[in-house]
A and B are shown apart, each in its own frame.
Chain A
Amino acid sequence: MDVGNIIFLTLTGALVAASSSYVGSIMVLKRMSLVGDALSHVALPGMAIALAFGISPIVGAFVFLSLAVLGIWYLEKNSDTYPEALVGLFFTASLAIGVLITKEVDLLEALFGSIEKISFYEGLATIALSVSVIIVTSLFVKKLMITVISEELAQTSSERISTINLLYYILVAVIVSIGIRFVGTLLTGSLVIVPAVAAKNISKSMKGYFLMSAVFGIVSAVIGIPLSKGLWLPSGPVVVLVSVVIFIITFFYKKLFAR
């Protein structure tokens, strides 16, 4: 594998990680971390079906994830108690079905991702999508934060909060779909959550939190991807472990130095 390719993949990975962490940082504040994780499991049957029809697995994943986020959005909007257990059941069932219908040769790749398989054009599309997600999120991040602080304040601030939530969930579907190509369905949740919780450990302000969350995502990819190549290891798990190490460092930093 040549150096140019590794640099390109690292850049792509860094942007995916940055957009995932940015969107994920709001997910963590919304206390939806585990929903995000379970959500990624829904992608698997979608990918299997797409592969069977010879379509890009990212498209299959996105279609299934969009249906799933519409489901979450609908439940959240129309029931007083959020049926978390039901969501968990439905999503893990998807994983089980996905494992059964995915061909064995594709299974490992679908579960843990494979950055090497990304073509140049796929990489460019991924970069464009990541940048778009970052831009769209930043456009309405303030409104999202109001919903984090108090749904009631948001409801009476004349904002269309239900529309804002739906738009946000679609962004989540996009980042999970592109994240899957990198780290697979089992680990894409951590790409979304871990940099954000690490940033939360050390941030006092919203600006610092979003910034550090994206920075930690980028650092995980920039260290993790070349490192995995050097060690002949799959890149997804290495990137995730780098982010976990960052989390541990920030955790002890918080224990030792904060307040």
Chain B
Amino acid sequence: MADVILSVKNLTVKRGSHTIIDNISFDIPKGETFSIIGPNGAGKTTLFKAILGLIKYEGRVEWKEGIKISYVPQRFYIDSDLPITTKEFLKLKTNSSEKINEALESVGLKNSDVHKNGVKKHILNNRLGDLSGGELQRAVIAWSLLGNPDVLLFDEPTAGVDVVGEETIYSLLQKLKETHGMTILLISHELEIVRKYTTTVLCLNKEQVCYGPPSLVLNEKTIDKLFGEEMHYYHHKHKN
């Protein structure tokens, strides 16, 4: 039996009389990339919050003892005039410049020589709100890496990032998994990405629609069940 990092049994979340997620069970072994997919309102973010213990739930959520978890939330808007530089943002978590440089290097944001001719000031001294969507996403990932987590939870890592940025963030996650031996949980809309990068997928639409390796469980039947007819459009588009 593989080293299980998170075990969830019969997880149900209700708000008042309304059931948001119903009877979900899964195990996540160490080093896995685990995706949760489903349409809007399927309860994906709620599932994340439940396993993080941020909201009330019924059932059982067991993390392996001593596991450090980092969470990158779905929406991360920074006011463009919020007076804080990237460096100060990272320093909110640690005072060690060494650790900060390490984390920045891991997310591919390292240092001033990258920006030629002094055109662009080093990203560390830029205001957080002045970063591009992709840069900000990387800065937040760097922030989450600072505590040396064993598990990273990403709620739609590419929301608000352009397509090129999207690819690189997923390959970045892949790299982190390989170099740091991390376990990664992510919420995604994008089937192609899930197929390409993840080892196990959980399809969620209030209840558990499918669970297993993407190559086995992501067939037309489950996708129809999960997203309804609208999904065909996206699916064919990606095939082009």
Q: Which of A146, A150, A156 has the most CB of B within 10 A?
A: A156
Would B83 and A203 count as touching, CB distance under 8 A? yes
Nearest CB on A from B122, distance (A): 13
The residue in chain B whose Cβ has the minimal distance to the Cβ of A202 is B83
Would B83 and A156 count as touching, CB distance under 8 A? no
Would A146 and B76 count as touching, CB distance under 8 A? no
Would B71 and A146 count as touching, CB distance under 8 A? no
Q: Which of B140-166 contact A (CB under 8 A)?
A: 140, 143, 147
Nearest CB on B from A91, distance (A): 26
Would B73 and A153 count as touching, CB distance under 8 A? yes
Please measure, in the bound complex, the distance between the C-alpha atom of A131 and the C-alpha atom of B69, giving whole angstroms. 38
Would B52 and A205 count as touching, CB distance under 8 A? no
Would A149 and B89 count as touching, CB distance under 8 A? yes
Chain A interface mostly: helix
Nearest CB on B from A171, distance (A): 19
Total number of residue pairs linking A and B with CB closer than 8 Å: 54
Would B83 and A145 count as touching, CB distance under 8 A? no
Would A205 and B78 count as touching, CB distance under 8 A? no
B92 within 8 A of A: yes
Would A205 and B84 count as touching, CB distance under 8 A? yes
B54 within 8 A of A: yes
Would B93 and A149 count as touching, CB distance under 8 A? no
B81 within 8 A of A: yes
The residue in chain B whose Cβ has the minimal distance to the Cβ of A154 is B92
Please measure, in the bound complex, the distance between the C-alpha atom of A199 and the C-alpha atom of B84, giving whole angstroms. 13
Once A149-B78, A206-B84 are accepted as A-B contacts, the answer to whether A156 and B52 lie under 8 Å apart by CB is yes
Would B85 and A205 count as touching, CB distance under 8 A? yes
B82 within 8 A of A: yes
Nearest CB on A from B39, distance (A): 22
Would B71 and A156 count as touching, CB distance under 8 A? yes
A41 within 8 A of B: no
* A contacts, CB < 8 Å to B: 29, 142-143, 145-146, 148-150, 152-153, 155-157, 199-200, 203-209
